[in-house]
Amino acid sequence: MSTPASPQPSPEPFGARLRRAMDIRGPLCVGIDPHAALLAAWGLDDDVAGLERFTRTVVDALADRVAVLKPQSAFFERFGSRGVAVLERAIADARSAGALVLADVKRGDIGSTMAAYAAAYLDPGSPLFSDAVTVSPYLGFGSLRPALDAARAAGSGVFVLALTSNPEGAEVQRARTAGGASVARTVLDHIARENAGAEPLGSVGAVVGATLGRLDVDLAVNGPLLAPGLGAQGAGAEDLPVVFGDAVRNVVPSISRGILGRGPSPEALRESAARETERLVKVLG
């Protein structure tokens, strides 16, 4: 008679891994955004070879020292399958070096389509498997269930768009629901329920722009708060306590051009990331 296989241990939740990474490496998240102008500034051609050189330089320079790397998938997808292959390798190499990878894909759909997006980025067997993804809730928060369930099973995270830094976002996010709450408030309430009871930090995060100024919204969702908008978009580390208030310790500040613009020198990239990390640690504690 064969012996029953022992149950596999559950993977460590993303929220716990993120908290530990930020405590050890600092809170900085560096975006990998290889758009045409940045490739040109590095002296690279706007082709797959330039994309690969750029991406490999950033990963090699930073993946062993920053908490999170955030590749923006659109800049890889624009080159078709060869660009996606570069993204696959970047994700694998960054994770091997100890960085958490947040795939900035902003997917949002329903049913089997949302499940397929989740399989692409949240299935450990996928070549695009990431520690977390960004998603859009504007087909209803319930439409995200396949991604939320897949992330929980894999020990990954999900960052949900809530209060974004682009001015156009307000027409949807500040709109009022039939119950009187804003759409953003409703999204944040859903996130808080997903994270209820999680320690030390939930695995469902919110995307909240660092450029928004003082908010009249409670951001205590027991999850991480991805804060784009620092650097080239105008916000600085000193703005974070104003925007995030008592939830500031859970902020994951994201900087892209402000650091990538220092390339192609790996040493300059590392120096820039170190300075930003030091500045953020002083402000966020």
Torsion of the alpha carbons at 112, 125, 222 and 249, rounded to the nearest 10: -130
Q: Which of 89, 95, 106, 145 is catalytic?
A: 106
Convert 56-92 to b/e letters by CB count within 10 Å (16 or more is b): ebbbebbbebbbbbbbbbebbeebeeebeebbeebbe
Residues 240/214, Cβ–Cβ less than 8 Å: no
Is 70 in the active site? Answer: no
The amino acid present at 285, given as its one-letter code, is: G
Residue 176 identity (one-letter amino acid) = R
Which of 172, 216, 162 lies closest to 192 in space, CA to CA?
162
- The catalytic residues are 106
